[in-house]
Structure 1
Amino acid sequence: MTINAPLKQFALTSGAIIFASLFLSACQQKESTAALPILKKAPPLAQIEISNPSDFARPDEPIYVSYYDLGLTSKEALSVFSADVELPSQAVDIDYDGTVDGLYFVVDLNNSTPVSITIENTPVSVKPVDKVKRVQADLAHKVAGQWLPHSRPPKHQINTGKKEYVGGHFENVKSLTPPDYYTDHSNWIRYEGPGIESDKVGYRFYLDWRNGFDIFGKLTPEPVLHQIGLDGYESYHHKARWGMDILKVGSSLGAGGFGVMNTKNQLEHVANVKTRTARIVENGDLRASVQLDYNDWKNSYNQQNLVADISMHAGSRLANVALKLSKDLPNMATGIVKHENTVFIQGDLSNLSNYGYSYIASWGKQSLDKSPLGMAIFFKKGDLKKVTEDKNNYLAILEPKGDKSQQRVNYYFASVWQPESGINSKDAFIDYLNKEAEKLTQKPRLRIKTRLSAAQFKAPLDAKSALKWTQALADTELSHKVLGYHYMGWDVNRKRLPKFEYDIIGIQPYAYNQLALLTGKKQYSEVIEKVTASFISDQGKIYAYKKSNFNIDNIPPGQNLISLYERTGEAKYRVAIETLREQLHDQPRTSAGAFWHKKKYQGQVWLDGVYMGMPFLAHYAKKFELGHKQQETLNEVVNEFKLTREFLRDSNTGLYYHAWDELKAQSWADKNTGLSQEFWARGMGWLAMAVVDVLDYIPTENIEQRDFLVTMIGEIAVSLKSVQDQNTGTWWQILNKPAQRGNYRESSATAMFIYFYAKAINKGYLAKEYTALVKSAYKGLLSEFTLVHKDGTVSMLNQCYVAGLGFGRDGSYDYYMSEPISRNDPKGVAPYILAGIEMVKLLDIDNSVK
């Protein structure tokens, strides 16, 4: 029997549960002639547990769930419940492609207690939820009047043919492209451009050459934009019941506008364009968005199209700006107006990873009513090129990300007006800024279970089902992006050209090759040919690789090169293999002989590095070396494990710290031991995988070497068992702190540990008594982290995107909580496939799977 058919052959139907209800009654009879039927309630469409990773309350936290994740293919009428109370929700177009793609709602997160959410696609509420409009997008212009020569044109536009609109009344529209004779103060567009507001604050965007962003301070939570400026352009400059225009923008970018810093280090506004178009994209109760489309923008670098999508959600003062550029542009700028007698504030970047958010801000009595006003720009550290200023602005210069035809810039801006917010001091404003930056950096922790997924997981756990799920994720990723990682392709995760490194060129193609060996399927074996092999020239040069970096992360693709050499016999692969072997020969080492992780990481040994280097080195020794030379290399391999155990293992728990600094010089290193602070799950996962893989290449007669590694496997098995989550069978991001704020069950490490246990049992390194543990873990990998979609594809959820040390990464608990949580990343997909392969072998008692 073979079970390597595509997922859809094995997919269980998830049709609706049928309710049969029969009510038999007889009028005025004393007894019923039949028992009432038992009514079964259909399981909800989805159940979501949402946890707050911060030590402060987070009211109105926005939550988005795609229809794709809910197991739907299109918009349906959905209801959201928390503790049997229906919450307001909204169907949204989160990616601005013109199609509604998911469900949006906000929840109040307190400091500790998770919020349980149920999503239903059947009418279950007798009383409709109270709908309160908390956001608004607004755009209106005058009609029934006439265009006349400008009676008082701006000084720079005298005799240019610019006009003003006289008479008429305002009419709301969804889209608007001003004529070329429109300019500032033409009195045609209500408050001079589109506007957007939440129940906290409003913003308007000048739809003219200025491209500045202005602020409407609000004193009332209800939407007001549609009422502003109806009686003329002067009225909203004076305080009214609803609030007032509070910012003097002048020649600046205002409260978060954008431009470009040219080669002369001068700010250019988005002024020279063929047309400007404003659109209302969303105008719901909880989320609103406006799109600004600049056609043929001429700047100092090029001529291109620029699209800005600006959104707000209920309960927030922040507006998100997502810029899409049609061509490369190196120095996009955003900023806030620089007023006299204001204090400039910059967030700390020193203890922040590239994915963490920081800010620039100003504080002072800078509003038009002389009240304290704070303004800020929030951005990812990795996007920031520099902070600077000119005579009008405090500026953040941001680096667009993406390929040259799909450049992206993303940031947030915010304003805090004292009469609305109650924030009275610089210190209170900084506290607000730090909390908002943390909220942007540390997203709520979500556990999602769907009806569709649950139905699929009802099948018994056996070799057939394990292979089904292994191929399901492999096939999904193969169809989406795996083959795109070839040389000069595109790394969709890091948004850059692929490099010759451990995950996309190394372990992921390796996992597909192992799956090919199990199933015999050509599409899996071709991955190393189409991806890894593309980095090797006909002469054996490795593209996108630099030996002098001595980065041990570059070594794992060598495993695939050995397979390619065995498959083809082509000399170019042998040349490339020798290049990697030469790197390890010259790799800097600690005084005891352990490999540095990178040349620039002097004296540092990381758990990651053991996996990166040792399986290849052992494989190389077995394949290409003999006698004394082979023994010398294998001694070197085993010594790496011995030194790792000596310096990184905690004697009390048996767990391993992420890294060790022999020099004890790094900010993350303990000054006495040199160790980092925490037991990071995936770090230990790399080590666990490395030790079982290396034994594949050590001859059986090398008893002493093998005995040490097998003993180490036993120790790791015991220590991991002690921190396994008993409720789900999975493991946590920080292994020994499951109850600590922000910690979450992490999928890539869980897959690695399953691979470790299953392979160790299959090879006889661990006793069969661990079989129940690994089965529980694999069930958890499915139920906790595997999400089934309506089209038969699957996703792997809750992956730690990346974690490292140094360069702003201080190794603290908070640091590990601050790194993004991702899905379908190669660092998780590859262990998932490898874990599935070993589970198939473990469960295939009668060897029926081929």
Structure 2
Amino acid sequence: MARILFGKTLLSLSIAAVVSACSPQPAVKTPAAADNTNQIANLSVSNPSNFARHQQTLLLPFSDLGVSAEQAQALVALAGDTAVASQLIDHSGDGTKDTLLLQFELTAAEHKPLRIVNDRARFNDQQLPKRTQAEISHKVGGQWQDAKYIGGQFQNVTELTPPPQYTDHSEWIRYEGPGIESDKVGYRIYLDWRNGFDVFGNKTGAPVLQQVGLDGYKSYHAMADWGMDLLKVGKSLGAGGFGYWDGDKVQLVSSVSGHSAKVIENGALYSALQIQYKDWQIAGKTTQLTANLSMTAGSRLVHTRLSLSEPLDNIAIGLVKLPNTTLLQGKQDIPGHSWTYLATWGEQTLTGGNDKLGMAILFKHSAKKTITSDDNSHVAVLTPSGSALEYYFLSAWDGEPGGIQTEAEFVAYLQQTVEQLTLTPRLRLKTTLSEQQKAQPLTAEVALDWSERLAASEMSRQTPFYAYGGWDYERQRPSKWEYTTGLQLQAYDDLLKLRPNPKWQQVLSEVIDSFITADGDIRTYKLSNYNIDSLNSGNMLLREYQRNPKPQYKQALDLLRKQLTEHPRTAEGAFWHKKIYPHQLWLDGVYMGMPFLANYTKTFEQGHAFDEVVKEFSISRAKLRDPNTGLYYHAWDEARAQAWADKDTGLASQFWGRGLGWLAMALVDVLEIIPEQQTELRQPLLDMSAELADALVKVQDHDTGTWYQILDKPQAAGNYLESSASSMFTYFFAKGVNNGYLPPRYKATAIKAYQGLVDEFILLHPDNSVSLVNTCQVAGLGFGRDGSYEYYMSEPVFRNDAKANGPFIMAGVQIAKLLATN
């Protein structure tokens, strides 16, 4: 891995030069909505839910808007001619403003157009009521007597590091720690060994922390005009605190050498705190823990982002365990990226009455290790993503203005909340910076430029770290031998045939080589898993072997071939997708396995397995193709046993874009491998290609030339133009025409699709790097994934994902070849 890191260091020095050298330098193209030089971007925001989203918050990084921090100081969003509530914030917590925060109303399934401008006069005119607050206040003018502070008066500060003698009940920090609140509810975080999270009930509908505890440490435990401290925290995690699960109980963040707290933001719409826990001694490690906590106006939620200098195997989050409460748990049979909750409801306040309080922690299902409890807390034990963990906590008191009154209302609120976290608003962003550089006519060189620019950006962001021992930033886990690595590397390899770059070629070789042992084994690969996805990187290994025929490479290739020899199959001979997905044929698997099998058998077996390759396509057509539309369903279950499978046909219910994209790429890739003289073998693939091309044109978006996540439902709530499928189909059409698999009339289809890829999905940043946006991060079936339309909408919409980057780069190469034939 050291070689890879060193290679990346060298490469990073040349990234800016490479990007700059291949950057188009067109005349300025003025966006349609812009009539002045202050235009920054046009934005369309779509509500993916069939219910209204009140006070929807949206974060737009300055880098996405194409402006520097200095250029962004007067950014304003307009709906028509009306300014949208906004705030410039430091979202990263590093002391520099980096993001434009917007807040607005969205009706059910609404598409809202917005315009971002740099207008200082209009910015200065925004007079927003203060609806959030972050506060740290401690006494000055008194003196310490042992561990208690005597006398003095409170003074607000933006940063605070307590002295060594400070502990609980020292009466030095007002309400014993930093506070954060919205106009709904407030929280305090004990800045001592307890690290408990407490709740301030708010009766006013406006921030109240500035008046809490000014007259002493007991006053907020009695009802006041503003509200009161609602919770008995004790030794628990309180209202959403965190610690470590030792197998029996939560270990609080207690054994530390000190704390520091800082107000990051204290604004009208957004406030944030950062707390540093120094030298936390836990699980045999010493780690530096940073907690970033933020709230937005109109919301009860605290967004909590934890980072560790030394990773831990778990973080425990939870709620105080109190009598007279009901424990509530969100859905568990759901996809891993979906959010869920653990909550309590009941008479759990200190008011002395029969008022009700609901509390909840919200987390991604994939992070959950277990739900448990100890004597003090209800606990969700979570697995961090490397050294980071993200979650939310909230409280809902029936005494707040318009507060939630019943358990049923609280559950309905939680269900809508997790949907809003899971189904993020759909965005189409067109920035002035991006539009300027997209204005030039499309030529072969321009297409290669875009492929090279994305490749250069990814060489800096991710590609070298796909090596064994590296980190997969997309999946937030150690790098493995998997299909995404091979896909991205093959895209580079295609590009380098037209735009040679020895440094990049060296990185590709080092990444592949890092997985192959001296005796021909493949690190992180396990044949007995019978996972057909694992074969795709074999294509890149074969290319590397042809350049550098090391014996261990051949042994590794033979190992992958052995998998296909033993791989379980359906009754008619189609490969199962994985051993853990028995009797199932997926479109994805056709791409993962068949180009490799075709490549291997051509290179080492004189093509003896070509008939097996073609058979896989033929069975896929027979089982998965819908005769009415010509589209293919995502998967088929021969056993009809899966919850997602139709009990009569065994078919999944949706035409998923990327699933069909995998098949489309597999067709043209395999046709390139099987020799032209083997006409009988090739004809079924040529027929499938012609059928598929006709079907895809019918569902191609007329305006943009791209395709939707679910191909046949463009108007359904939440559906969006998706970059990986669109890139794959562009590659299919361009390569099909280039190689004569498709008639020349599809050249126009390919060019329109490619122009749409660039226009819709390429986003330029001020440092001249580019991103590819609006990619479905992952989609599958089973294990909580029910295959419904709603499921495909629930998967995260991502950027710079290898499953889109690779096909985009490949598509650019094929378009360049197509245009070069003029």
Indicate whether the TM-score tops 0.5: yes
CA distance in 1, matches of 2:110, 2:181: 30
CA distance in 2, matches of 1:176, 1:790: 35
Runs of 4+ in structure 1 over 6 Å off: 14-18
Q: Secondary structure at the match of 1:503?
A: helix
Alignment-derived partner of residue 169 in structure 1: 153
Alignment-derived partner of residue 44 in structure 1: 39
Alignment-derived partner of residue 415 in structure 1: 395
Per the TM alignment, residue 44 of structure 1 is displaced from its structure 2 partner at its CA by 1.8
Alignment of 1:697 with 2:673, yes or no, is yes
CA distance in 1, matches of 2:147, 2:458: 56
Per the TM alignment, residue 12 of structure 1 is displaced from its structure 2 partner at its CA by 4.9
Identify which of 119, 122, 144 aligns with 1:122.
119
Identify which of 250, 255, 268 aligns with 1:272.
255
The residue identity in structure 2 corresponding to 1:48 is L
CA distance in 2, matches of 1:41, 1:185: 58
Identify which of 100, 108, 111 aligns with 1:111.
108
Q: Secondary structure at the match of 1:276?
A: strand
**Distance change >3 Å, CA 783–CA 243, structure 1 → 2:** same
Alignment-derived partner of residue 342 in structure 1: 325
Q: Tell me if structure 2 keeps the 8 A contact 1:7–1:472.
A: yes
Per the TM alignment, residue 476 of structure 1 is displaced from its structure 2 partner at its CA by 0.9
CA distance in 1, matches of 2:819, 2:709: 28
Alignment-derived partner of residue 296 in structure 2: 313
CA distance in 2, matches of 1:578, 1:844: 38
Q: Secondary structure at the match of 2:472?
A: coil
**Distance change >3 Å, CA 448–CA 391, structure 1 → 2:** same
Q: Secondary structure at the match of 2:399?
A: helix
Residue correspondences, number = 798
Alignment-derived partner of residue 27 in structure 1: none
**Distance change >3 Å, CA 484–CA 227, structure 1 → 2:** same
**Residues 528-565 of structure 1: CA deviation (Å, up to 9, x unaligned):** 30211221122211111100001001101111122112
Per the TM alignment, residue 10 of structure 1 is displaced from its structure 2 partner at its CA by 5.0
The residue identity in structure 1 corresponding to 2:294 is S
Alignment-derived partner of residue 509 in structure 1: 489
Per the TM alignment, residue 769 of structure 1 is displaced from its structure 2 partner at its CA by 1.2
**Percent identical residues:** 49
**Distance change >3 Å, CA 682–CA 515, structure 1 → 2:** same
The residue identity in structure 2 corresponding to 1:514 is D
Per the TM alignment, residue 327 of structure 1 is displaced from its structure 2 partner at its CA by 1.7
The 5 Å alignment of 1:607-686 reads 607-626=587-606, 630-631=607-608, 633-686=609-662
**Distance change >3 Å, CA 11–CA 300, structure 1 → 2:** closer
CA distance in 1, matches of 2:748, 2:403: 57
Identify which of 22, 26, 48 aligns with 1:53.
48
Per the TM alignment, residue 637 of structure 1 is displaced from its structure 2 partner at its CA by 0.4
**Distance change >3 Å, CA 377–CA 434, structure 1 → 2:** same
Q: Tell me if structure 2 keeps the 8 A contact 1:12–1:455.
A: no
The residue identity in structure 1 corresponding to 2:60 is V
CA distance in 2, matches of 1:40, 1:413: 44
Q: Tell me if structure 1 keeps the 8 A contact 2:341–2:361.
A: yes
Identify which of 542, 547, 571 aligns with 2:522.
542
CA distance in 1, matches of 2:258, 2:600: 62
CA distance in 1, matches of 2:29, 2:753: 29
Q: Secondary structure at the match of 1:89?
A: strand
Alignment of 1:281 with 2:234, yes or no, is no
The 5 Å alignment of 1:18-29 reads none
CA distance in 1, matches of 2:261, 2:267: 17
CA distance in 1, matches of 2:558, 2:167: 66
Alignment-derived partner of residue 467 in structure 1: 448
CA distance in 2, matches of 1:180, 1:7: 51
CA distance in 2, matches of 1:249, 1:541: 54
Alignment-derived partner of residue 338 in structure 2: 356
Alignment-derived partner of residue 12 in structure 2: none
Deviates more, 1:107-116 or 1:519-528: 519-528
**Distance change >3 Å, CA 128–CA 233, structure 1 → 2:** same
Per the TM alignment, residue 122 of structure 1 is displaced from its structure 2 partner at its CA by 3.3
Alignment-derived partner of residue 367 in structure 1: 349
CA distance in 2, matches of 1:300, 1:689: 48
CA distance in 2, matches of 1:121, 1:499: 44
Deviates more, 1:780-789 or 1:241-250: 241-250
**Residues 770-825 of structure 1: CA deviation (Å, up to 9, x unaligned):** 12222111111011100111222110000000001111111111111111111001
Alignment-derived partner of residue 159 in structure 1: none
Alignment-derived partner of residue 287 in structure 2: 304
CA distance in 1, matches of 2:629, 2:376: 58
Deviates more, 1:421-430 or 1:542-551: 421-430
| Aligned-residue RMSD, C-alpha | 1.7
**Residues 615-642 of structure 1: CA deviation (Å, up to 9, x unaligned):** 111111211122xxx34x1110000000
Q: Secondary structure at the match of 2:471?
A: coil
Deviates more, 1:467-476 or 1:295-304: 295-304
The residue identity in structure 2 corresponding to 1:94 is H
Q: Tell me if structure 2 keeps the 8 A contact 1:262–1:331.
A: no
CA distance in 1, matches of 2:38, 2:22: 22
Q: Tell me if structure 2 keeps the 8 A contact 1:512–1:833.
A: yes
Q: Secondary structure at the match of 1:45?
A: strand
Q: Tell me if structure 2 keeps the 8 A contact 1:377–1:412.
A: yes
The 5 Å alignment of 1:415-434 reads 415-420=395-400, 421-434=402-415
CA distance in 1, matches of 2:324, 2:364: 28
Alignment-derived partner of residue 322 in structure 1: 305
Alignment-derived partner of residue 29 in structure 1: none
CA distance in 2, matches of 1:239, 1:85: 41
Alignment of 1:9 with 2:6, yes or no, is no
CA distance in 1, matches of 2:313, 2:458: 32
CA distance in 1, matches of 2:99, 2:315: 30
Alignment of 1:836 with 2:812, yes or no, is yes
Per the TM alignment, residue 198 of structure 1 is displaced from its structure 2 partner at its CA by 0.6
CA distance in 1, matches of 2:68, 2:468: 34
**Distance change >3 Å, CA 579–CA 237, structure 1 → 2:** same
Per the TM alignment, residue 677 of structure 1 is displaced from its structure 2 partner at its CA by 1.0
The 5 Å alignment of 1:19-168 reads 41-42=36-37, 44-75=39-70, 76=72, 77-123=74-120, 125=122, 128-148=125-145, 162-168=146-152
CA distance in 1, matches of 2:27, 2:263: 38
Alignment-derived partner of residue 243 in structure 1: 227
Alignment-derived partner of residue 445 in structure 1: 426
For the pair shown, the structure with the greater C-alpha radius of gyration is: 1
Q: Secondary structure at the match of 1:741?
A: coil
CA distance in 2, matches of 1:687, 1:324: 40
CA distance in 1, matches of 2:461, 2:450: 17
Identify which of 698, 701, 715 aligns with 1:739.
715
Q: Tell me if structure 2 keeps the 8 A contact 1:618–1:637.
A: yes
CA distance in 2, matches of 1:497, 1:147: 49
Q: Secondary structure at the match of 1:339?
A: coil
Q: Tell me if structure 1 keeps the 8 A contact 2:482–2:534.
A: yes
Identify which of 566, 570, 573 aligns with 1:593.
573
The 5 Å alignment of 1:718-733 reads 718-733=694-709
Q: Which stretches in structure 1 are left out of the alignment for 5+ residues? A: 19-38, 149-161
Alignment-derived partner of residue 458 in structure 1: 439
Alignment-derived partner of residue 262 in structure 1: 246
Q: Which stretches in structure 2 are left out of the alignment for 5+ residues? A: 1-16
Per the TM alignment, residue 190 of structure 1 is displaced from its structure 2 partner at its CA by 0.8
CA distance in 2, matches of 1:15, 1:280: 44
The 5 Å alignment of 1:551-590 reads 551-590=531-570
Per the TM alignment, residue 40 of structure 1 is displaced from its structure 2 partner at its CA by 5.2
Q: Tell me if structure 2 keeps the 8 A contact 1:301–1:329.
A: no
**Distance change >3 Å, CA 494–CA 17, structure 1 → 2:** closer
**Distance change >3 Å, CA 823–CA 317, structure 1 → 2:** same
CA distance in 2, matches of 1:303, 1:708: 62
Q: Tell me if structure 2 keeps the 8 A contact 1:296–1:304.
A: yes
Deviates more, 1:584-593 or 1:555-564: 555-564
CA distance in 2, matches of 1:13, 1:228: 58
Alignment of 1:753 with 2:737, yes or no, is no
The residue identity in structure 2 corresponding to 1:215 is V
Alignment-derived partner of residue 24 in structure 1: none
Per the TM alignment, residue 14 of structure 1 is displaced from its structure 2 partner at its CA by 7.9
Q: Tell me if structure 1 keeps the 8 A contact 2:29–2:436.
A: no
Alignment-derived partner of residue 168 in structure 2: 184
